[in-house]
Amino acid sequence: MVSVIIPVFNGERTIVRAIESVLAQRYDGEIEIVVVNDGSTDATASVLERYASRLRVVPQENRGLAAARNAGVRASSGELIAFLDADDEWFAEKLETVVGALARQPHLAMVYSDAVQIDRAGNQIYDSYTPADQHRAPTLAEMLSGAWNILPSSVLLRRETFDEIGGFCEEFKALFFEDTWFYLLARERGSFAYLDKPLLRYERSNPAEGAVKRVTARGPDNPASRNQLERSLRTFETMIALTRGRYGAAANGLITAVEQRRLSFLEGTGLLRMQAGDPEAARRFYALALRYARWNLKTRARLLWTWLPDLARRALGAALPARLHRSLAGPPKG
Tell me the three-class secondary structure of 166-205, residue by residue.
CCCCCCCCCCCCHHHHHHHHHHHCCCEEEEEEEEEEEECC
- Domains in the chain, CATH or no CATH each: 2-203 (3.90.550.10), 207-329 (no CATH)
In angstroms, rounded to a whole number, what is the distance separating the alpha carbons of residues 137 and 192?
A: 6
Q: What angle do CA 222, 314, 304 make, to 5 degrees?
A: 60
Please report which confidence band the pLDDT of residue 140 belongs to, taking 50, 70 and 90 as the band edges: very high
pLDDT of residue 156: 98
In angstroms, rounded to a whole number, what is the distance separating the alpha carbons of residues 266 and 232?
A: 10
In angstroms, rounded to a whole number, what is the distance separating the alpha carbons of residues 91 and 110?
A: 19
Over residues 124-129, the mean pLDDT reads 93
Query: What SS3 state is found at 151?
Result: coil
Q: Is 248 exposed, middle or buried (0-12, 13-18, 19+ CB in 10 A)?
A: exposed
Over residues 89-94, the mean pLDDT reads 98
pLDDT of residue 276: 85
DSSP bridge partners of 175? none
Phi, psi of 43 (to 5 degrees): -90, 15
Q: pLDDT (tens digit, 9 = 90+) per residue, 183-230?
A: 999 999 999 999 999 999 999 864 444 555 555 555 555 555 677 788
pTM for the structure as a whole? 0.89
If you average pLDDT over every residue of the chain, what do you get? Answer: 91
pLDDT of residue 221: 58
In angstroms, rounded to a whole number, what is the distance separating the alpha carbons of residues 232 and 220?
A: 14
pLDDT of residue 209: 47
Q: pLDDT (tens digit, 9 = 90+) per residue, 3-40?
A: 999 999 999 999 999 999 999 999 999 999 999 999 99
pLDDT score of 52 more than 90:
yes
- Would you give the DSSP letter of residue 159? H
pLDDT of residue 215: 54
Q: Evaluate whether 99 touches 1 at the Cβ level (below 8 Å).
A: no
pLDDT of residue 329: 87
Cβ contacts of 100 within 8 Å, gap of 6 or more? none
pLDDT of residue 81: 98
Q: Rounded to a whole number, what is the largest CA-CA distance in the chain?
A: 67
Q: pLDDT (tens digit, 9 = 90+) per residue, 152-165?
A: 999 999 999 999 99
pLDDT of residue 204: 80
Over residues 249-264, the mean pLDDT reads 95
pLDDT of residue 206: 47
pLDDT of residue 207: 45
